[in-house]
Amino acid sequence: MAGSVHVMDHPLIQHKLSVLRDKNTSVKEFRELVSEIASLMCFEATRDMPTEEIEIETPVGMAKVKRLAGKKMAIVPILRAGLGMVDGILQLVPSAKVGHIGLYRNPETLEPVEYYCKMPKDIAEREVYVLDPMLATGGSATAAVSFLKNYGCKHIKLMCIIAAPEGVKRISEDHPDIDVFVAAVDSHLNDHGYIVPGLGDAGDRIFGTK
Ligand code: PRP
Ligand code: URA
109 is catalytic: yes
Mutate to test the pocket of ligand 1, among 85, 114, 134, 188 (most ligand atoms within 8 A of CB): 134
The Cα-based distances of 197 to 29, 57, 133, 185 in angstroms read 19, 53, 14, 10
Establish whether 204 is a catalytic residue: yes
pLDDT of residue 110: 87
Q: Are strands 127-131 and 155-163 parallel, antiparallel or unpaired?
A: parallel
Q: Shortest CA distance to 130 belongs to which of 182, 76, 174, 49?
A: 76
39 CA to centre of ligand 1 in angstroms: 21
Whether the CB of 167 sits within 6 Å of ligand 1: yes
pLDDT of res. 71: 79
Looking from the CA of residue 133, the nearest atom of ligand 2 is: 3
What pLDDT was estimated at residue 1?
Answer: 61
**DSSP 8-state assignment for residue 54:** E
Selected catalytic residue, list 9, 109, 122, 177:
109
| Amino acid 102: pLDDT | 96
**Atom from ligand 1 closest to the CA of residue 203:** 22
Tally of helices (H runs) and strands (E runs) in the chain: 6, 13
CB 34 within 8 A of CB 200: no
| Claim: this prediction has a pTM higher than 0.85 | yes
Spell out, as residue ranges, where the chain has pLDDT lower than 70. Answer: 1
